[in-house]
Amino acid sequence: MTTHTPGPWKVAGQGNGKQELLILGPSGEIGCVRSMGWLADARLIAAAPDLLKACKATVRLLRRVTAEIECETQCNALQDPIAKATATG
């Protein structure tokens, strides 16, 4: 099973071009961003491991308190992107 590179990830300085930012993980380059919204995209990509961790923690918490409230819709709304981020294949 393949897994993503663990965080933290961060936005590094420019790569080979003026419209290119590198995304770095603990062991080196994860990728680079070359787009119109390059800085915003790079920041979002760099936040991905933290966002995934927060979503997983929120689902665990919601599932523990669901005995008294109905939150299946909210759990599913978080579970879908978690599944997309952790899919294999």
Stated pTM of the model: 0.66
Q: Report pLDDT for 16.
A: 59
User: What whole-number distance in Å separates Cα of residue 38 and Cα of residue 40?
Assistant: 6
Q: Report pLDDT for 1.
A: 40
Q: Report pLDDT for 89.
A: 43
* Residue 24: its H or E element: strand 21-25
Q: pLDDT of 17-66, one tens digit each? A: 566 788 888 888 888 887 767 777 888 888 888 888 888 888 888 777 76
Q: Report pLDDT for 66.
A: 66
